[in-house]
Structure 1
Amino acid sequence: MNVAVLSGKGGTGKTTVSTNLALALKANYIDCDVEEPNGFLFLKPQVKEIENVMVEYPLIEDSKCVSCGACVDVCQFNALAKVKDDIILFQKLCHGCGACEIACKYGAISYKKREIGRIEKGHIDNIDCSRGILNISEPMAVPVIRQLLEKLPEGINIIDCPPGTSCNVVNSLKYVDGAVLVTEPTEFGLHDLKIAVELVRMFNIPFGVVINKNSCEENLIKKYCVEEQIQMIGAIPYNREIAVIYSKGEIIYNNSKFKDIFNELAEKTKGVLKWN
């Protein structure tokens, strides 16, 4: 069972829910927010395995290239450009599709690999933890996310998705059986929740909503969920003590005062997502 935890925007408490829910469900934790992977700051697993993430890029052999521009014309990602009599490669725009190599009639293009990030794997409290890390200045996170999710551990996996609803999130959702949408009771929270709801509905993924920083019985998020017939998984109270625990990089689930909150979220998640 692979469960995505996502939000329409950053800062709603997605990683808070992901890490604590993983412990409550005794589930493996996978951090797909490869540009800001901060789940390990809370779980603190001992990293025992590191894999490099490599992508292909074209190499142009000057002795064979006649600067015809066929490779430039076929590139959909503007990674190649013809400037006077030279073909210029913008390496980080290349998606490694291979079209330029096929288009070149002179055999001037071959492919090499370069590193864009890494996968780290560790273990804590009988659960496996893994995360992807995109190298600084690299623009494309998807190859790191794909490699991270290719070989998921057996059992229950909590997938901490990137924030928002970009292609990074879409590629994460390809591997999931259900989703937990995390939001907060504000106008901004509601706006971005609606976008996230539209996304998971497009993929026909069963989902429910968790409200973080919940301060009252009725709010605009609960009203929206009733109107849209969206199931509520639960809420995390707007509490100063929880904020202090989080600010110290500690796990809320380990505090006996708040442990039951996440145990209840775990049980409700099973029901909402029709756990099998």
Structure 2
Amino acid sequence: MSLKIAIASGKGGTGKTTVAVNLFSFIYENWTHSVQLIDCDVEEPNDLLFFQNFSVKSEKKVEQIIPQIDTSKCTFCKKCEDYCEFNAIVMVPSMQYATVNKDLCHSCGACFVACEFDAIHEVNNNIGTVSSCLVDNDRSVMEGNLRVGSPLQTMLIKDLKNNLDGEYDILIYDAPPGTSCPVVETISDADYVILVTEPTPFGVHDLKLTVDLLREVNKDFGVFVNKAGLGDSEIYEYLKEEDIMLLGEIPFSKEYASLYAKGKIVKSVPIEFAKEYRKVIEYLKQKMN
């Protein structure tokens, strides 16, 4: 059984991906080589940007099954339209018109059940790709890449997680920002969630939303504060009031921002920020024991 760690945040721009790639590298260097990074932010997968050398081992298209209506057989009874919970079917009997909006369809199959006249058949619709990559010749990173315009992030994330390219002791999920369905799908099987936030009013507000979500789905979690010293103490007061574990802090730093802008990770430069990631690793080891 793998230890599954999700890195999430209530808002974009907090440093979630930075924490994910750095934690992945520190675990590889200081704990175990049996670790894999999975970029579940399928609308904007950026994890590979932080590695100077990577190669794509394999790539596969992810397709959904969607209905196609044969108007020569359709009686335009509108039963399939009534069954569709996602308003993906549009039917105008007076014009003998019927169509399916593939971007609204969730492939639930209700319309196939509804149709009594064999007027609906299956076709495949590409929603994106799943790639397996090697970074620095020996570390595994996987990512999903959603087709532009497709709203089916959750479906692609589920396929990504169900088709990993091997067995690893530790899996790190880099989740999308926010608290919507793609985040819920990413953290659904996580053993522990690291929430990345910043000490600003927006950071506190969105952290509270994410904490509510994690408590609702009964997930164990802690908080990693990025850009520490930028705002005020409200974030720390909230963590104390709610008895939430503070896992580590990265100070608001020009040096750290420069590393990020150059696509570098902390381990590549000997600075004090590394100790914060080592603290997280020690805590995760304790959790496992």
TM-score bracket for this pair, using the shorter chain length: over 0.9
TM-score (norm 1): 0.95
Alpha-carbon distance, 1:225 to partner: 0.7
Alpha-carbon distance, 1:106 to partner: 0.4
Superposed, 1:234-253 pairs within 5 Å as: 234-253=248-267
Identity of aligned residues (%): 41
Distance 2:101 2:42 in 1: 22
Contact 1:69/1:87 (<8 A) preserved? no
Structure 2, unpaired ranges of 5+: 29-34
Equivalent residue letter for 1:120: S
Contact 2:74/2:117 (<8 A) preserved? yes
Alpha-carbon distance, 1:217 to partner: 11
Contact 1:6/1:163 (<8 A) preserved? yes
Alpha-carbon distance, 1:87 to partner: 1.4
> Aligned match of 2:214 in 192, 195, 200?
200
Is it true that 1:81 corresponds to 2:90 in the alignment? yes
> Aligned match of 1:187 in 201, 205, 208?
201
Distance 1:20 1:41, change over 3 A: same
> Aligned match of 1:11 in 10, 13, 22?
13
Is it true that 1:53 corresponds to 2:53 in the alignment? no
1:147 aligns with: 159
Alpha-carbon distance, 1:200 to partner: 1.1
SS at match of 2:152: coil
Contact 1:33/1:132 (<8 A) preserved? yes
> How many residues in Structure 1 have an aligned counterpart in Structure 2?
274
Superposed, 1:1-150 pairs within 5 Å as: 1-26=3-28, 27-44=35-52, 45-83=54-92, 84=94, 85-125=96-136, 126-150=138-162
Alpha-carbon distance, 1:149 to partner: 0.6
How large is the Cα RMSD of the aligned pairs? 1.6
1:260 aligns with: 275
Structure 1, unpaired ranges of 5+: none
SS at match of 1:245: helix
Distance 2:169 2:284 in 1: 16
Distance 2:125 2:84 in 1: 19
Instruction: Flag as ranges the 4+ runs of structure 1 deviating above 6 A.
Output: none
Contact 1:185/1:221 (<8 A) preserved? yes
2:32 aligns with: none
Q: Deviations over 1:208-237 (max 9, x none)?
A: 000000128972111111100001101011
Distance 2:50 2:278 in 1: 18
Equivalent residue letter for 1:15: T
Distance 1:106 1:25, change over 3 A: same
TM-score (norm 2): 0.91
Q: Deviations over 1:26-66 (max 9, x none)?
A: 23110000001011111353211101110011011122111
Distance 1:240 1:166 in 2: 32
Distance 2:241 2:278 in 1: 27
Alpha-carbon distance, 1:270 to partner: 3.5
Is it true that 1:275 corresponds to 2:288 in the alignment? yes
Contact 2:68/2:123 (<8 A) preserved? yes
Contact 1:53/1:143 (<8 A) preserved? no
